[in-house]
Structure 1
């Protein structure tokens, strides 16, 4: 009876295997993103970073993609480049090697084609991984909508440009799924690859520590075998070692113990001229809050208060929000770990939205209950995606238009 009330198209959709539905959602999303990129290119002006004759391929190879291409062609500098003032300049050590060299291999030397293929395929597989991660927590239908939001979200263009985010998300989502199912063995392979794809594996080390504590607390209801304890501790240490190893490698190659940190701080000088040459945990967000509020014509202390309120609000959402609590302890612990990591190491600027991509499991908490609101949410995602593409690729004229 209920089946007869459905339209033929909806019946065919529901009878399509889940993998097929995810692939269709992803394909349609990529077509829309391509149309957005083409439209932005057609509106590009001589004032844009990409010029009046910009193409979609220019966008695939734009911004940080140029650094990954440089790494694939030239490797990493033995001697750190310097500015006129003697400070360490922006250089390739800020970009991890896995995506750069994988794109070169896949493209058989044509790095742009390889980068596009790696991002496209990794994005599709990440959608499969996200659905698997969420379906038992929020239901198959809501998980499918979360995939739609993920693949069509504000930064969905990252699935088809030369950035490492899509590959990192695939590795991260699979790793979170394995950890939540207590299938720890495969993580010994995934963690090093993830750690050399994009910064963030130190947050995974913290997540594993919190995951282990949570399992210890629940051990009477959820048995915690000794083998699992060994795996959790070993994997947490492995994540930490991988997370710090890039700093060690940069130090050995350049003979500068602070090569990596000074390289990362070089980007901060684009925003704060008198930025400290020494990395101080949590200092970046405080300085950033003051910088932006002064830029907006308000006292810097207002920015600090706003930052404190933002931290309290995020903590409340993770601890008390019913939709977020439905996602389960592991996804909330990961979200808390990653947010704490960002607070410790990042300076908030135009790339902040992109840096939030690893929080994508939270799309599962953003799925409304009614179908109408779900379509409204999807429409909002597409609108936000166009605005982001138009700003950072189409206009691309000023300091806050860096993706």
Structure 2
């Protein structure tokens, strides 16, 4: 996709913020000095956020409805499928019983898969909700995941609004809600939690709120193994600011940059301490799950097997989505997106390409990489001004296909998410 022409950019507000020389709509000039506007979490939402959030929840509620119909057709309970699919059972067990209480021995290799592979923030929030509210464990898990999805959608909108304006931000939220693997936002998984923390940490970086950026990045590092991508984005931009200003930066920047990696590093060291190998214990735990960075060797082996022997629809589509992510990342860089968004999305793409493990899960790993969707959102926003009916038709068709595929993944496919 080509970059917007000058005329297009004039009608699509933008503000690349930190890491770019473009104007920032969240900073107003008064008397020659910058005046920062309020953080967009309070009594009032950002302009245009309500329709965007309504679009997001409409799509995801339709997804839950489709899953309910499919489960009813197969004679399955709705909430059992949403709260206890694949890895969800591990999170629920950790929330109820703590770490070091569950292990699974693979019959094929004899590897012992332990619960230490799962990061603690999500099960900790499940336990907190279950303690405070009179709800069962599975309902608490879904409540946390669904609330996180809503916060994530608003964070995605906030970044889109800050960078390009209302139209692109709305399209960005809609596209993110209708991704083929967005069904993960409906179940007890951690992608919604990571996206929420990442979006608001990156927004804090873009608006110069370094303490918030560091604290939220630290929490993101406690949510998923890929959460350290947020800390990497905070750290790279902090280094750029220090170099650009020759060290004359506010104290909050130093503190935020120092806070950012503490969550991920702290949990890795904690697992290492409990396994008797401080620096390598966590990675040994992950190796038993066939999760390691092998510089793409596993991906190449999968591609060879897919070309020679073929596979179910899940595998070719996973390959298409990964390739699309690489193309979108190149377009994101070509359009000179803000540096924190490029670093964050680039880290997730790099981890996905270079990591081992089930290839069918790779599109799920990319779900939190919402900055990759900016080129698509820009195309939708530009087309909306010319052919709104066509945009509605294409968007609706894509959403229906996504919901159908997500329902298949959760109710009919035997491939792990």
TM-score band (shorter)?
0.7 to 0.9
Q: Which residue of 1 is the match for residue 333 of structure 2? A: 319
SS of the residue aligned with 1:90? strand
Give the whole-Å Cα distance in 1 for the aligned partners of 2:185 and 2:105: 33
* Larger mean Cα displacement after TM superposition, 335-344 or 93-102: 335-344
* Larger mean Cα displacement after TM superposition, 362-371 or 231-240: 231-240
Q: Which residue of 1 is the match for residue 114 of structure 2? A: 91
Give the whole-Å Cα distance in 2 for the aligned partners of 1:329 and 1:43: 47
* Larger mean Cα displacement after TM superposition, 116-125 or 152-161: 152-161
Aligned match for 2:294, one of 257, 263, 282? 282
Is the CA contact 1:201–1:240 (under 8 Å) kept in the aligned structure 2? no
1:244 aligns with 2:265: yes
Where do residues 196-235 of structure 1 align in structure 2 (5 Å cutoff)? Answer: 196-215=222-241, 219=244, 226-228=248-250, 231-232=252-253, 234-235=255-256
Give the whole-Å Cα distance in 1 for the aligned partners of 2:182 and 2:326: 28
Kindly tell me: are residues 141 and 312 of structure 1, through their superposed partners in 2, closer, same or farther at Cα, counting changes over 3 Å?
closer
TM-score, normalised on structure 2?
Answer: 0.74
The Cα RMSD (Å) is 3.3
Is the CA contact 2:215–2:259 (under 8 Å) kept in the aligned structure 1? no
Give the whole-Å Cα distance in 1 for the aligned partners of 2:106 and 2:416: 21
Gaps of 5+ in 1: 1-15, 45-52, 270-278, 300-305
Q: Which residue of 2 is the match for residue 354 of structure 1? A: 364
Q: Which residue of 1 is the match for residue 289 of structure 2? A: 267
Q: Which residue of 1 is the match for residue 405 of structure 2? A: 388
Q: Which residue of 2 is the match for residue 34 of structure 1? A: 64
**CA drift at 1:202:** 2.4
**CA drift at 1:65:** 0.9
Kindly tell me: are residues 158 and 83 of structure 1, through their superposed partners in 2, closer, same or farther at Cα, counting changes over 3 Å?
closer
TM-score, normalised on structure 1?
Answer: 0.76
Q: Which residue of 2 is the match for residue 114 of structure 1? A: 140
Is the CA contact 2:180–2:405 (under 8 Å) kept in the aligned structure 1? yes
Where do residues 89-238 of structure 1 align in structure 2 (5 Å cutoff)? Answer: 89-107=112-130, 108=133, 110-215=136-241, 219=244, 226-228=248-250, 231-232=252-253, 234-238=255-259
Count the aligned residue pairs.
Answer: 352
* Larger mean Cα displacement after TM superposition, 79-88 or 205-214: 79-88
Kindly tell me: are residues 86 and 335 of structure 1, through their superposed partners in 2, closer, same or farther at Cα, counting changes over 3 Å?
closer
SS of the residue aligned with 1:268? coil
Give the whole-Å Cα distance in 1 for the aligned partners of 2:153 and 2:108: 46
Give the whole-Å Cα distance in 1 for the aligned partners of 2:180 and 2:67: 13
Q: Which runs of 4+ in 1 moved over 4 A?
A: 78-87, 230-234, 308-315
**CA drift at 1:165:** 1.3
**CA drift at 1:286:** 1.7
Is the CA contact 2:91–2:123 (under 8 Å) kept in the aligned structure 1? yes
Give the whole-Å Cα distance in 2 for the aligned partners of 1:227 and 1:208: 14
Is the CA contact 1:209–1:232 (under 8 Å) kept in the aligned structure 2? no
Give the whole-Å Cα distance in 1 for the aligned partners of 2:253 and 2:110: 40
Is the CA contact 2:184–2:191 (under 8 Å) kept in the aligned structure 1? yes
Aligned match for 1:339, one of 339, 349, 356? 349
**CA drift at 1:164:** 1.3
Give the whole-Å Cα distance in 1 for the aligned partners of 2:220 and 2:259: 12
Kindly tell me: are residues 17 and 291 of structure 1, through their superposed partners in 2, closer, same or farther at Cα, counting changes over 3 Å?
closer
